[in-house]
């Protein structure tokens, strides 16, 4: 009997949430309108600006494809045991310190579990990059 009551209550909640979601979607679809350029506060893009924008997007796509291909090549080399990755004690210490620091900062800023975990990952990767990169962080102009 309890299972039947639970099933009826659960079905009612589920149907109520579905009908509320569909009503909200219908109302947003009917009231959505494309604002005019004057309402947004600016004029439309000129053909010159569109051309420059398209060129910049194409350049970014090319750069992204190059980065993805480099990452794939490195992953394939590591998977095929043709490339060895060596971590020193200093590298491991940098990753550990950065992970703890990143997790603490995100946690102090009010992040939850997944946000704190992401902060730990970013802190570890960022600190490892800072420690292992070659050359000065900010080159001095002479």
How many Cβ atoms sit within 10 Å of the Cβ of residue 116? Answer: 19
Which comes out higher in pLDDT, residue 114 or 2?
114
Q: Do the domain assignments include residue 126?
A: yes
Asked if residue 97 lies in contact with residue 114, where contact means CB atoms within 8 angstroms, the answer is no
pTM of the predicted protein model:
0.41
Q: Do the domain assignments include residue 64?
A: no
| 48-71 mean pLDDT | 91
The token pair at 41 is: 């506060």
Q: Do the domain assignments include residue 92?
A: yes
The token pair at 130 is: 């800072």
- The 10s digit of each residue's pLDDT in 70-118 is 888 888 888 888 877 788 888 888 889 999 999 999 888 888 888 888 9
- The 10s digit of each residue's pLDDT in 26-48 is 554 555 555 555 555 556 888 89
Number of domains in the chain: 1
- Please check the confidence at residue 55 and state whether its pLDDT lies above 90: yes
* Domain that residue 123 falls in: 87-133
DSSP string, 69-119: HHHHHHHHHHHTTSS-----HHHHHHHHHHHHHHHHHHHHTT--HHHHHHH
Highest average pLDDT, of 17-21, 44-48, 133-137, comes from 44-48
Distance from the Cα of residue 102 to its chain's centroid: 16
The token pair at 28 is: 């947003």
Q: Do the domain assignments include residue 5?
A: no
Q: What is the pLDDT of residue 16?
A: 59
Instruction: List Cβ neighbours of 70 (8 Å cut-off, separation of 6 or more).
Output: none
Q: Do the domain assignments include residue 16?
A: no
Q: Do the domain assignments include residue 122?
A: yes
Q: Do the domain assignments include residue 63?
A: no
Q: Do the domain assignments include residue 9?
A: no
């Amino acid at each position: 009997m309890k299972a039947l009551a639970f099933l009826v209550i659960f079905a009612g909640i589920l149907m109520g949430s579905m009908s509320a979601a569909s009503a909200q979607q219908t109302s947003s679809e009917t009231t959505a309108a494309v604002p005019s350029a004057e309402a947004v506060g600016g004029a439309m893009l000129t053909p010159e600006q569109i051309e420059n924008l398209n060129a910049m997007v194409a350049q970014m796509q090319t750069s992204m494809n190059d980065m993805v291909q480099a990452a794939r090549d490195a992953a394939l080399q590591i998977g095929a045991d043709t490339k060895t990755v060596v971590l020193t004690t200093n590298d491991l210490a940098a990753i550990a310190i950065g992970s703890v620091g990143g997790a603490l900062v995100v946690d102090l800023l009010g992040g939850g579990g997944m946000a704190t975990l992401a902060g730990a990952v970013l802190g570890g990767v960022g600190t490892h990059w800072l420690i292992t990169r070659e050359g000065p962080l900010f080159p001095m102009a002479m």
